Amino acid sequence: MMGMLSMVTLQAQETAKNIDKVLEQNRQHLEDLYLYLHQHPELSFMETNTAARMQKEAEEAGFKVTPHFGGNSLVAVMKNGHGPVIMVRTDMDALPLEEKTGLRYASKVVTKTREGKEMPAMHACGHDIHMSVWSGVARTMAALKEQWHGTLIMIAQQAEERSGGARAMIKAGLFQKFPVPDDILAFHVMPDLPVGTIGYGTGPVFAGVNPVDITVYGKGGHGAYPHKTIDPIVLSSRMIMDFQTIVSRELNPLDPAVISVGSIHGGTKHNIIPDEVKMQITVRFYKDEVFDHIRSSMERITKGIAMSAGLTEDRYPVVHVEDEFTPPLINNPDLVQQCLSIWKQDEPVLKLVQVDPQMAGEDFSMYGRTPEHIPIFMFRVGTASPEEYAANQSVEKLLPALHSPLYAPHYQEAIPAGVRAMASAVIGLFHRK
């Protein structure tokens, strides 16, 4: 038994050394790629140049690429004999933010949204790191083909930020036109973890997200005569307060949920009570049944308040919920444990730490919700330099979070750590299947 364990450890150490050799050969290329991607961000559903660059990266590594799959996304396949099928995913889109890091390579891009509005663009969510690691993994796996057997599928996905890219790829036939993977892996940067640290979680790690639009009707009139109106602004404020009791008094305290009103608009002038108010709300949850309860409660509360104000049925609020939402991201426990056992052979270099679930959304979750029931695992890669991480322990010096215009990952070390973690996990899974 000890001999077998020693063989596994020696094999893992040998794999790590080989990955490091390939990494060293590609380090400058990956850093240059990161800087290019960071300085040329493209918004969701508009990643044409980014996708072309990802296609070039995959083809240079020896993958057969299918571009424009379900939009700007692409599928890269490397068949290497008989064996398991492993899929690795990256996202490509940037955010409509003006970068304020002041770095020499800061994004200066100003572009137009799909709606035609001119906006600055920035990779404030680390997708430039994701893509650079993805390219590094492709190059590493190609260089180490003698050490694994099976089929590696690497996908570069559009529009994660607007939660449409994964769904579009699945609808385009990702799991019908290509081999169905045994496992799917992805990672996300984590600003408050130090470089060299890999974060993991089992079960729910990111929340389900569903936007809710509510139109509240009333009876408008002069602000001097409120008794002759039914004020939809007042009704909306009552609804907003009552929504908070859904979480605090209707849900099991062990079932986390968030209801946040992000936008409320009504009226045009100081002294005019409007006819209607529009609200935009985000609902976040870890269980589908929790969202179903929230939706039902919202409909009950809005109708009840409208009735109490004397509105007739034709003026009841309209609660609109998208049928296609971002589901909770559930990491497969068995797959997590398999990857942990692989990484623990390399733990002196890659530090492992369990991280708490978050209420952010990630459409990587969609790949685990298909009829094929494919196990998925998204881990985290730290991007804080040791100095930044030490300073971050002080409340006064908290690091910029994701989606901040000040987010500046320590890419020089984060990219190699990401490549090492992902490549070792993929090779290990090929060996274990």
Question: Which entry of 47, 93, 160, 161 is annotated as an active-site residue?
Answer: 161
Q: Is 161 a catalytic residue?
A: yes
Cβ neighbours around 329 below 10 Å, total: 30
For 269-281, how does the pLDDT look when each residue is reduced to its tens digit (9 = 90+)? 999 999 999 999 9
For 135-185, how does the pLDDT look when each residue is reduced to its tens digit (9 = 90+)? 999 999 999 999 999 999 999 999 999 989 999 999 999 999 999 999 999
Fill in the amino acid letter for 342. Answer: I
% the chain with pLDDT above 90:
88
Per-residue model confidence (pLDDT) at position 195: 96
Q: Is 128 a catalytic residue?
A: no
The Cα 381–Cα 126 span in angstroms is 10
Domains, in order of start, for the chain: 2-206+328-432 (3.40.630.10), 208-321 (3.30.70.360)
Per-residue model confidence (pLDDT) at position 7: 55
Per-residue model confidence (pLDDT) at position 1: 46
Query: Between the CA atoms of 339, 340, 345 and 348, what dihedral angle is there, to the nearest 10 degrees?
Result: 120
Q: Does 39 score more than 50 pLDDT?
A: yes
- H helix or E strand, kind and range, residue 59: helix 48-60
Chain mean position to CA 173: 21
Per-residue model confidence (pLDDT) at position 341: 94
The Cα 315–Cα 411 span in angstroms is 54
Q: What is the average per-residue pLDDT within 306-331?
A: 94
> What does DSSP say about strands 85-91 and 150-157: parallel, antiparallel, or unpaired?
parallel
Q: What are the tokens at 213?
A: 């639009």
Question: Which entry of 91, 93, 276, 363 is annotated as an active-site residue?
Answer: 91
Tell me the backbone φ, ψ of residue 364, rounded to 5 degrees.
Answer: -55, -25
Q: Are 167 and 324 in contact (CB under 8 A)?
A: yes
Q: Does 12 score more than 80 pLDDT?
A: no
For 79-98, how does the pLDDT look when each residue is reduced to its tens digit (9 = 90+)? 999 999 999 999 999 999 99
- H helix or E strand, kind and range, residue 39: helix 2-39
SS3 202: coil
Band of the pLDDT at 2, cuts 50, 70, 90? very low
Per-residue model confidence (pLDDT) at position 349: 79
The Cα 281–Cα 374 span in angstroms is 31
Band of the pLDDT at 397, cuts 50, 70, 90? low
Q: What are the tokens at 316?
A: 């009841």
The residue behind tokens 């609808």 is 171
Q: Are 266 and 236 in contact (CB under 8 A)?
A: yes
Q: What is the average per-residue pLDDT within 126-140?
A: 98
Q: What is the average per-residue pLDDT within 344-356?
A: 88
For 200-243, how does the pLDDT look when each residue is reduced to its tens digit (9 = 90+)? 999 999 999 999 999 999 999 999 999 999 999 999 999 999 99
The Cα 169–Cα 76 span in angstroms is 13
Of the candidates 422, 334, 352, the residue with the CA atom closest to the CA atom of residue 16: 422
Q: What is the mean pLDDT of the chain?
A: 94
Q: Which residue has the higher pLDDT, 3 or 164?
A: 164
Of the given ranges (25-29, 294-298, 323-327), which has the lowest mean pLDDT? Answer: 323-327
The Cα 125–Cα 97 span in angstroms is 11
Q: Vertex 110, ends 104 and 111: CA angle to 5°?
A: 140
Chain mean position to CA 430: 25
The Cα 433–Cα 423 span in angstroms is 16
Q: Which residue has the higher pLDDT, 347 or 221?
A: 221
Inter-helix orientation angle 288-308/232-245, to 10°: 140
Tell me the backbone φ, ψ of residue 307, rounded to 5 degrees.
Answer: -65, -40
Band of the pLDDT at 433, cuts 50, 70, 90? low
Fill in the amino acid letter for 210. Answer: N
Q: Does 4 score more than 70 pLDDT?
A: no
For 40-75, how does the pLDDT look when each residue is reduced to its tens digit (9 = 90+)? 999 999 999 999 999 999 999 999 999 999 999 999
Q: What is the average per-residue pLDDT within 371-395?
A: 89
